[in-house]
Each structure stands twice: as structure tokens, then as C-alpha cells.
Structure 1
Amino acid sequence: MIAAVDSRRLRRNFSTSADSYDHHAQVQKQVVANLLNFIAPSCPEQGTFLDVGCGTGTLSYELCRIHPQLQPVLSDIAHGMTLQGRSRLSKALAVDAAAEALPFADYSLDMVCSSSVYQWVLDLPGAFAESARILHEGGLFAFALFGKNTLRELKTAYREAARIHGGETGHLHELPDMATVEQALNAAGFVQIELQRQELVEYHRDVTDLLRSLKRIGAGNASSRAPRGLASRSQLQKMTAIYRQRYGKNDQIPASYEVLFGMATAPTR
């Protein structure tokens, strides 16, 4: 059973992590850089674009640095993040909004972009359809999201430890795979779809360090079925042992991130 995302928990997690996000979000910063390279040949040099789930504004800041004539509009469900993004980019307009319900008129924007956000959206076709709705004909939709194999080491160790200790294994939020993303783009009516997959790996001293890093960027488990803690003390100790035994090397453990990059064009109406 796939656990739904608790939107209130997600909003709270990211809003309270706004101040510490940039210091700890090293993978997310690399995703932004790679997304910019991915869309460079197709990115408009002027016009108005929306940054869905803007976070602290890194993607919009870099886009405006490359193309100063672009006008950014920032949106995030977490008010703390919206404020951070707006403070970083003074010319930006900003609004609190969810990806599934964008408060913009039909055919009103030249580009919609997003980085490290859509993996949290339960109704991916609906969210993509919202972006298609607000784009001009031929407008660019570009995004990066974390795919199903993200943190596979942590998930495997957690589920094995849970089975040993009789704990629950079904409350982790499942991320989308490439086929799901492509289906959602097609359902939203996008054309000229281009998708790429990439794996990034970062290293931590131990599981505690990894979990602490995730918490500080607001990326803890946002499942509606998640318990107060990740697991019991004994289950957490077992998970740590499994993780290090199976994946550890040179006194470090890896954390793998599957990144799915997408680019598509709004259809002719």
C-alpha cells in the first residue's frame, strides 16, 4: 500500500527548515545546476516564468542570473520558503500555492519550472495539468524530481529491520518512477516530451547523520501514516547495523538519489 502525503506535515516540515535548508541541501543544489544544463538549449531569454515549490529561490535566482530579462514568480506551499525565496530575489512576485492548484490565469506564463518538488505531489497528472493550463501555447515546462530509487539504501535497511522486529513497513512515501512521470505528462497534454535519469550519491558518517541532514532540509517522512518517530530504538539500531554492513565503506555510508529530469512543451489549443 502506498502511503499518501500529509500536506500539513509537509508544509510544516519545509517551513520550519527554511533557515537551515541551503546549508544542508547539497544534493538539491546539484540538481538545480544539472536542471539548468538540461534546459539550457530551450530556455526562453525573456518573459515571465513560475517556479513551483521555489524553496529558497535557488533555481529562480540562477535563471535570472543567466537571463536577466526573465521575470520570476515564486510559489511554495511552505510560507517560510516563499519568504526566503522572495528575500533572495527582490524583483520576484511571490505567492503561497500548491502545485495542484496554481492561482494563475489560463495561458498566462511563458515557462513553468520546478526542482525537487513534484516527488511530494500525490496527484502528479493533476499537478502537471495545472502547469499546462497556465502556459502559453508552446510554453516550456521543465522540472527535476526525485525518483523511486532515491534513498534506496535507507529504505531497504529500514524495511529489513522492520520485518525482523515486527514493525510496520508500509508507511514510507513512495516516489514516482520514469513511466509514471511520462504518463502524467501525456495525460496533461504536453508534447515534445524529453526525459532523462541521473543518479547522485552523497556520503555521511552514519545513519544518524543522514537522518539529521534530511530533517534539516524538511525532507523527513511526510507520509500520512508515518508514526511520531521513524522506528523503535531497537529497530533503529538494527537498521543502522544493516545499512553499514551492506553499504558502508571507509567509515562512511552512501545515500543514493535518483533524479528524473523532464522537459515538455504546452500544446496548441
Structure 2
Amino acid sequence: MSEAVTVVVNGVENELPDKRLVAASFSRAAASYDAVAELQRAVGSTLIEVLPGGMKPERWLDLGCGTGYFSRIMANRFPASDGIALDIAEGMLRHARPQGGACAFVAGDAECLPVRDASFDLIFSSLALQWCDDFSAVLGEAGRVLRPGGVFAFSSLCAGTLQELRDSWKSVDGFAHVNRFRPISVYQRHCAASGLRLERLEVRPHVLHFSELRQLTHELKALGAHNLNPGRPGGLTGRARIRALVDAYEQFRTPEGLPATYQVVYGVLHKD
């Protein structure tokens, strides 16, 4: 298995998970994913809302399609179009394929798309690109496979996501228990250098609330998005440490419950 990639931002090293671990984790989670995907549905719906008005793509690509939820929505939204659903996790594709929505379901990597140049009028990618090591390569591939006038619309996660959980673990031990994500400055820099015309790039916090911490940790596992960091602790976590974590997280409790904040990046770029 390949080594994790280290990204250096402002002198600070951040290791991103090995994509093979990501693919395996999401493949295992395919059957449980939709039942706990409240955030994913909300973010993807917002991304559809910020698409340029009047779009009528002949061909679209759902990049990081997961269970195909938004492939089916786009098939209904653009009934005269042909769509391709692509994901790095073959388990997700096996789950999505029988439900339809796309003309083809393809296993592939966003950093090296297995499609021809100038193939699509729209690339839609919701909450998948945070797992990619090289965001500049993703943008380069988007520019390659889009037709002139095409649109690349994405949502992703940036630094500050699950900060409550990160801070609570920090008070317990020194291990990396929460997935790391790029700062917004990295998205800004790569979008500016991509050769694509940037229409929108913004961060919107999205807060979920849970009555108990174990509901959050169960949801992360069911999504396949639990801790995939290099250097994560192995083996079972002892009761004393879990109790300490629960106690630490309680300081964040609000009348709505225990918050879990996701810092969501929305981007829309055009190929002129």
C-alpha cells in the first residue's frame, strides 16, 4: 500500500489518508451510508442550488458519486442528458448501479480521470474531493475533460471541520483521531492557478446536533468517514479514555445538543 501524502501549508505538515484506505472504508460503508447521510444530502442539495441558472448539459459527470443519490437527482433534473457516475470505491458503485440514474458507473480517481478530453458540459462533485491528495491535479483533470463553456461545481471540507471533536480528543491524548482537511487558502490558491474562471468559492459552516457523542461516532463509522489519518492509534480505545472524551465534549453542549461543525467549501468554476 502506498504511503500517505504529506501536504505542507504555511510551514505546517498535514498528512492526508492513503486513498486506498479511503476507497476500502467507503466500500465497506456502502450499505449503511444513505441511512446516516443527512449532511451529505443537505450539502449536495445546496450545490445543485448554486449551479448556474438555465444549465442544460448534454453530458454530466458525478465525480465521487457514492451511492448515486445525486446521480439520480441530476438524471431527473436533466432528462435529455447522459450522465456518468464515477467513484474510487467499487463497493459504492456496486450499491449505486442497480438503482440507475447514470448511463455508466465507472471506477476511477479524480486526479486521473479515465475519460476523454472535452467529454462533459458539467462536472458535479459533492463531498468527495477532500479525500484527494492533489487538488491541483483534480482541477487540471476537470479542465481537461470539460468542454468549452462547461462548469465544474464542487463541495468539499476544509480545516475546522469537526473542531469540537478534535479539541476534545486533544485534551485526552496526543493522537490524531479526527481526519485532517485542507485550509481554505489551499483551495483559493489552486482555483486561482487552475486556468478555469472562478465564479464562486465560499465556506459555509453546517452544524449537526447529537444527544450523545456515540451517535456522532456511530454516524462517522456508518458513513465510512471515521478516522483515516496516518498515525491514528491502533486497537481498542479504553473505557477511561472514552469517558474522558465524553466529558471533554460536554463543554460544547448547547440547548440543541452536542454540535458537530462541518466547514463546507462550495466552488463553481467555468471553462471558457
TM norm structure 2: 0.89
| Structure 2: unaligned runs, 5 residues or longer | 1-12
Instruction: Measure how far apart 1:177 and its partner are.
Output: 2.6
Equivalent residue, structure 2, for 1:144 = 155
Equivalent residue, structure 2, for 1:253 = 258
From 173, 183, 204, the counterpart of 1:177: 183
Contact 2:68–2:101, Cα closer than 8 Å, also in 1: no
1:219 is the counterpart of 2:215: no
Contact 1:51–1:73, Cα closer than 8 Å, also in 2: yes
Q: Give the 5 Å matches for 1:110-259.
A: 110-162=121-173, 167-169=174-176, 172-229=178-235, 231-244=237-250, 246-250=251-255, 252-259=257-264
Instruction: Measure how far apart 1:220 and its partner are.
Output: 0.8
2-structure distance, mates of 1:192, 1:247: 36
Tell me the C-alpha RMSD between the 2 structures: 1.9
- Quickly say closer, same or farther: Cα 1:234–1:262, change in 2 above 3 A: same
Write out the 4+ residue segments of structure 1 that deviate beyond 4 Å after TM superposition: 229-232
Instruction: Measure how far apart 1:203 and its partner are.
Output: 1.2
Contact 2:158–2:184, Cα closer than 8 Å, also in 1: yes
Contact 2:82–2:102, Cα closer than 8 Å, also in 1: yes
From 261, 267, 270, the counterpart of 1:265: 270
Q: Give the 5 Å matches for 1:42-57.
A: 44-57=55-68
- Quickly say closer, same or farther: Cα 1:196–1:229, change in 2 above 3 A: farther
Which SS does the other structure have where 2:31 is aligned?
coil
Equivalent residue, structure 1, for 2:9 = none
Equivalent residue, structure 1, for 2:15 = 3
1-structure distance, mates of 2:102, 2:90: 18
| Structure 1: unaligned runs, 5 residues or longer | none
Instruction: Measure how far apart 1:53 and its partner are.
Output: 0.6
Instruction: Measure how far apart 1:224 and its partner are.
Output: 2.7
**Greater relative contact order (Cα < 8 A, sep 6+):** 1
Contact 1:147–1:175, Cα closer than 8 Å, also in 2: yes
Equivalent residue, structure 2, for 1:38 = 50
Further displaced range: 71-80 or 183-192: 183-192
> Deviations along 1:111-162, whole A, 9 cap, x unmatched?
1110001111111111121111111122100011122121111111111221
Aligned residue pairs total 260
2-structure distance, mates of 1:91, 1:142: 18
Further displaced range: 246-255 or 178-187: 246-255
Instruction: Measure how far apart 1:254 and its partner are.
Output: 1.0
Equivalent residue, structure 2, for 1:72 = 83
1-structure distance, mates of 2:135, 2:209: 30
2-structure distance, mates of 1:230, 1:4: 22
- Quickly say closer, same or farther: Cα 1:175–1:229, change in 2 above 3 A: farther
Further displaced range: 24-33 or 91-100: 91-100
Which SS does the other structure have where 1:19 is aligned?
helix
- Quickly say closer, same or farther: Cα 1:252–1:196, change in 2 above 3 A: same
Which SS does the other structure have where 2:15 is aligned?
coil
Further displaced range: 248-257 or 178-187: 248-257
Equivalent residue, structure 1, for 2:8 = none
2-structure distance, mates of 1:172, 1:181: 20
2-structure distance, mates of 1:153, 1:193: 31
Q: Give identity over the alignment, percent.
A: 28
From 92, 98, 104, the counterpart of 2:103: 92
TM norm structure 1: 0.90
> Deviations along 1:10-68, whole A, 9 cap, x unmatched?
111100111111110101110111111111526x3131111111001122211221221
